[in-house]
Amino acid sequence: MYLHGTSKINALGHLEIGGCDTVELKKEYGTPLYIVDEHLIRQRAREYMDAFKASGLTFQVAYASKAFSVKAMCTLVEQEGLSLDVVSDGELYTAMQAGFPAERIHFHGNNKTPDEIEMALDAKIGCFVVDNFTEIHLLQAMAAEKNQTVKILLRITPGVEAHTHEYISTGQTDSKFGFDIGNGSAFEAIELASKQSHLQLLGVHSHIGSQIFEVEGFQMAVERVAGFAREVKEKLGLTFQVVNLGGGFGIRYVEGDTPLEVSQYVKAITDGVKNHFAGIGEELPEIWVEPGRSLVGEAGTTLYTVGTSKDIPGVRKYVAVDGGMSDNPRPALYESQYEAMLANRANEPAAETVSIAGKACESGDMLIWDLALPKVETGDLLAVACTGAYNYSMASNYNRIRRPAVVFVQDGQSDLVVRRESHEDIVRNDLIPARMNKQTVTS
């Protein structure tokens, strides 16, 4: 398993992250456990900030909180000077509960409900990324009602299909998101939005996909957006003050994944902006990006305890852990691949090939196929790397499995940032109708 960030094997032969021995973390917090390398997230955040500062452009780096939205993460991001992208009232509420500055919050989503818009208007967030015509009208009406003027970007689809898994590309023409440049709806939307009395159109947003390893997609997107900006300037006399180029910067999950350095992605974008936007307006636009996965993905490790195993001679050996698709649905959803190791016997050589099964009642609940490990025993600790993004945030209670705890680790200190769900949490919202006349258990 590749050791990201501060992960290393200590003198006891145990996996250690942020100076904390994972065997001790298991004793203190139990498993499954999400372990987050705080130092690595801060380092990535600084790489983004430094790369943009080096470009000389005005910028905002907004963390796409859908990747991992918890209060401590919002605080960390705030401390590093980033902005925050939210896509629901739940993510907005999390940010507000963490005291995240509202003016640095951007609200995304293809179907923001009136309640969500109201909440965001009342919070006085910094910007709405408007996705469709219905929303232009709704936001204008609601802002007018409250006598507020709201800053907006329009999400446009530049027709660039990033080289990635089909289910997570969003930049192509056939997409549920945004206004298409190619069919003219983006232009129409700009014209309409710019005429609204309570909307202040700052510019446009484009997100071309996820887990991208090349700069070409971003360069092409910048070029297309600049071409569109030129058309808008010529025909309507409007210039974009802000251009948001979304997220999608790739990370290393497994061998063969070849992400670029953060600075390389940023340079490709900022160079592209300098080349293609020159002369469109008096000044170059302010550039915003929205990395999610690349800020937190590699910083997360999930620790499981090995339970049962089933050897099918001549076929395969299944080894089951105490979590699975309920804490990491990505293998089942996207056939995503992960690397793992025995955290309690990290120096031992591989002795067998096993497949890691989750505990859910679902044949598809497999975390890793054909993984080489030392001879696995019940009670061993399995660490799965690179689970910081879209794991906790996509976790479910399927089979009424309780969601794991999350700890931040740094410099030998571990801090619980999300408690493990309790049995009480599982039934917290359940009600038995009185007419069923059932004597309920009280604990």
Ligand X SMILES: N[C@@H](CCCC[NH3+])C(=O)O
Binding site for ligand PLP (CB under 6 A): 64, 67, 85, 108, 170, 207, 210, 246-249, 290-294, 389
* 358 annotated as belonging to a binding site for a ligand: no
Smallest Cα–Cα separation from 273: which of 283, 263, 259? 283
Whether 386 is catalytic is no
Among 69, 170, 196, 206, binds ligand X (CB under 6 A): 170
Subset of residues 207 to 226 that bind ligand X, contact rule: CB under 6 A: 210
Query: Residue 14 binds which entry of ligand X, ligand PLP, none, with Cβ cut-offs from 5 to 8 Å by kind?
Result: none
Residues paired with 180 in a beta bridge: 157
User: How near is the Cβ of 162 to ligand X at its closest, in Å?
Assistant: 11
Query: Residue 290 binds which entry of ligand X, ligand PLP, none, with Cβ cut-offs from 5 to 8 Å by kind?
Result: ligand PLP
* 223 annotated as belonging to a binding site for a ligand: no
User: Which of residues 90 and 412 has its CB atom nearest to ligand PLP in the complex?
Assistant: 90
User: How near is the Cβ of 210 to ligand X at its closest, in Å?
Assistant: 5
Query: Residue 172 binds which entry of ligand X, ligand PLP, none, with Cβ cut-offs from 5 to 8 Å by kind?
Result: none
* 291 annotated as belonging to a binding site for a ligand: yes
User: How near is the Cβ of 293 to ligand PLP at its closest, in Å?
Assistant: 4
Determine contact, residues 359/321, Cβ cutoff 8 Å. yes
* 362 annotated as belonging to a binding site for a ligand: yes
When asked if residue 302 is in the footprint of ligand X (CB under 6 A), the reply is no
User: Which of residues 210 and 301 has its CB atom nearest to ligand X in the complex?
Assistant: 210
Smallest Cα–Cα separation from 384: which of 411, 414, 357? 357
Q: Which residues contact 122 (CB under 8 A, 6 or more apart)?
A: 146
Structure tokens at 342: 């025995």
Structure tokens at 8: 């290393």
Smallest Cα–Cα separation from 37: which of 300, 250, 262, 297? 300
Distance of alpha carbon 119 from alpha carbon 115, whole angstroms: 6
When asked if residue 164 is in the footprint of ligand X (CB under 6 A), the reply is no
Catalytic position from the list 20, 127, 361, 386: 361
What is the pairing mode between strands 366-373 and 381-385? unpaired
Structure tokens at 45: 């955040």
Distance of alpha carbon 126 from alpha carbon 376, whole angstroms: 51
Distance of alpha carbon 129 from alpha carbon 115, whole angstroms: 16
Distance of alpha carbon 179 from alpha carbon 188, whole angstroms: 9
Q: Say which residue the tokens 């067998």 belong to.
A: 352
Which string of x and - marks every residue 377-416 that binds ligand X (by CB under 6 A)?
-------------x--------------------------
Determine contact, residues 299/76, Cβ cutoff 8 Å. no
* 109 annotated as belonging to a binding site for a ligand: no
Sign of CA pseudo-dihedral 204, 208, 211, 213 = negative
Query: Residue 248 binds which entry of ligand PLP, ligand X, none, with Cβ cut-offs from 5 to 8 Å by kind?
Result: ligand PLP
Give the residue numbers marked as catalytic: 361
Residues that bind ligand X (CB under 6 A): 168, 170, 210, 330, 390
For the annotated binding site for substrate, the residues are 293, 330, 334, 362, 390
